[in-house]
Every structure is written in structure tokens, then in C-alpha cells.
Amino acid sequence: MDRADSVTVGVLGSYGGRNVGDEAILTALLDRVRAGRPETRFVVFSRDPGHTRRVHPDVEVAGWEGLCREGVSAYLRRLSALVLGGGGILYDTEARRCLRMARTAQDLDVPVFTYAVGAGPLTDEVDCARVRPVLSDAVEVTVRDEESKLVLEAAGLTRPVSVTADPALLLAPGDQGGELLRAEAVPRGVRLVGMSVREPGRAAEHLDEDGYHQLLAGVGDFLVHRLDAHIVFVSMERGDIRHAHAVASRMASADRCTVLRGDYAPQQVLDIVAPAGPRRRHAAALSDLRRALRHPAAAPALRGQGLRLRPADRRARPARGDPGDDGAAAGGSGPSVGRAARSGRRHGRAYGTAAASGGRDR
């Protein structure tokens, strides 16, 4: 660190993999920390440094895959703290890689915080053996759902674990959605239903893809006829497009669906799926990071660090069934959609999620 009062925060997650959800988490995390302390500097550890630099030109980016311990240590020594997360990174074969780097940071006396991480499936003893000591020595451990907490406890973690929300919920939609949909030739004046078809992933590599695609095609046809809707397939990763086309080709109503082709940033995806009208945003996710950065065990430069939240962020979530609750909107963060997506992630990301838009095309 250059000055005794400077703050340099390292962020380690599944970044640089061109996954819209993971990139949304990173964008929200950076934005909210800067809102409270603009002078904070970041080192983002990325799988694809070139991509991350293009998307976030104002942060330092380090490629960490393939680096030896000495190479990683050169970056870690400069940090005031290392944030592990958010996103689903603690699963078999992947957890050991992230936690190896986190352990190196701890060996260098760099405070480690796990932030809104997803866990599972986590059954390999090699990964469980990494989870127990590293997370036990972390300053704070927060996960993004109750299921992840149970997974960590089943892996043998006995320390307290807090449950928070996914940081991506903090992104606010803009007004580009209508323009982006028109550029994709999505029909206007009809009800739109967004569907995200995820690739099975390594944890579900033995999944019957044909049956998976046929099942989701049936869901799509049901939504078309039940809601008199047009299906819009929104890909979270470039590899998802193939699966979206496979589902569309099996639909009896294939003429009433569109597979988006663009390579969209998180904010653009949010604009596409956001319903018309204001959307409530919630600050619960970043409040845990604020608390962690104020922890006495953190480096002196981090003490007293906090995120100044806007009054709008503190508004209570409406009760389920409240007409003002837009959680069921396309791409929204409603309880049923959020749980379905998280459950699918833990079962190898083999899932499709669909939700109706808040009204007719904007």
C-alpha cells in the first residue's frame, strides 16, 4: 500500500468468464463500495484479464490462473483485504482453486472476507478439506442463500455463517430495453416472457440433454398458449445460446419465440428483462460487506469503512402478493424465481428460468 490510510481491495470470484450474472455481481460490488468510499482501489482477479480490463478500465486486473504462489503473492501483499465472492464458486473441483489463493492471502496476514458466495455441490473431500480451515480463519463468511449455508455446514464448517442477498440485485435498470429488443426484431405490442436456458455445466455432465431441452420446450409452449405470449431467450453465457436454440427448435410454437444474439453487458440484460416502471432495489447484500470492512481484524486502513446507502435502498420489501412487488417480472429477483435459479445452479446449472414481463412490450 502506498499510504497508511489507503484502501486496496482484492476481489476474487468467477470473473472474466463472460457470465452475465457473475459480471453483474462484480459491477454492483464495485459501484456500491465506490459510492461509500470513492478513493478505494481494486485489484480484480480474472480468468480473462483482457475482457475484464475492457469492461472495467478503471480497475487493476490480474490474471490468476496458472500463476505460482510467488506470482500471486506479489499482488496479495499490496491488499488491505481480499473479498472472496460473490457468486457460486464453492463447488467440487473449483473450491480448492479459489481457496488455495485465499489461504495464501491469510498466510500473508491479509484479511479474507467471503461475500455472498454460493456453495454446492460440495462432496469431494479435497475441496471440503480446503473449506474448513480457510473459511474458519476468514474474518466474515456470508453466503447468498440458506442452501449454501447448509452445504458448508455439511462440509464440516462450524463457525457462524450469515445469509445475505445476491449483490446483482443492487443493479438498477435503465431505459435501453425497448431499443435493444427492437434491434433483435422482437415483436411489439405482445406479452413477453423471458427464458434463460443454462448449459448443464460440469456438475451435471451426465444430464440427458435431449430430455432437458424437450422439458423446457414444453414449458415454453405452455407459457405461449397460457399467457398468449412471445418467448425471449436471454443467454447468461455465450455457450447458452446453443441450448436456447435446441429448446426453441423443439417447441410447437417456435414461431413465437426469439433467441437474442447480442453479447450484452449486465446492465443491458437488466434493461431487457426489467418491467416498465420503477423497480425497488435492496441494500441488504452490500450491508454485509460494509460490516465486514469495519471488522476490528481488518487492516487499519479499513476500519471505519462503510457504504453510504441512499434512502431508497432502505425501503422495505412489499409483502408477497403486493401489487407493487415486481419480483415476478422477467429476470426479477422474486422469491420463486431466485430459489429456482439457485437450486438449478447447485444441481449443475441445469435449469431454465422463465418469468412474464410486467406488461406489454415497452
Cβ atoms of 280 and 165 closer than 8 Å: no
305-334 mean pLDDT: 36
Residue 172 in any domain: the answer is no
Q: For 5-51, how does the pLDDT look when each residue is reduced to its tens digit (9 = 90+)?
A: 679 999 999 999 888 989 999 999 999 899 989 999 999 999 999 99
**Beta sheet of 191-197, edge-to-edge order:** 257-259, 229-233, 191-197, 352-360
Nearest to 118 by CA among 92, 143, 140, 100: 143
Q: For 286-302, how does the pLDDT look when each residue is reduced to its tens digit (9 = 90+)?
A: 444 444 444 444 333 33
Both 150 and 132 in a single domain? yes
Q: For 59-91, how does the pLDDT look when each residue is reduced to its tens digit (9 = 90+)?
A: 999 998 878 888 899 999 999 999 999 899 999
- Mean residue pLDDT of the chain comes to 79
Nearest to 286 by CA among 8, 66, 37: 37
Output the CA–CA distances (angstroms, integers) from residue 38 to 31, 34, 75, 201, 334, in the order listed.
9, 4, 21, 37, 31
Both 18 and 131 in a single domain? yes
pTM greater than 0.75 = no
CATH of the domain at 66: 3.40.50.11930
User: Which region among 180-184, 225-229, 342-346 has the lowest average model confidence (pLDDT)?
Assistant: 342-346
Both 98 and 61 in a single domain? yes
Compute CA 276 distance to the chain's CA centroid, rounded to the nearest angstrom: 23
Residue 89 in any domain: the answer is yes
Both 181 and 326 in a single domain? yes
Beta pairing partners, 88: 118
Please give the single-letter amino acid code of residue 267. Q
Cβ atoms of 223 and 260 closer than 8 Å: no
Both 182 and 134 in a single domain? no
* Structural domain containing residue 148: 8-165+282-313
**Is pLDDT of 346 > 70?**
no
Nearest to 86 by CA among 335, 267, 345, 356: 345
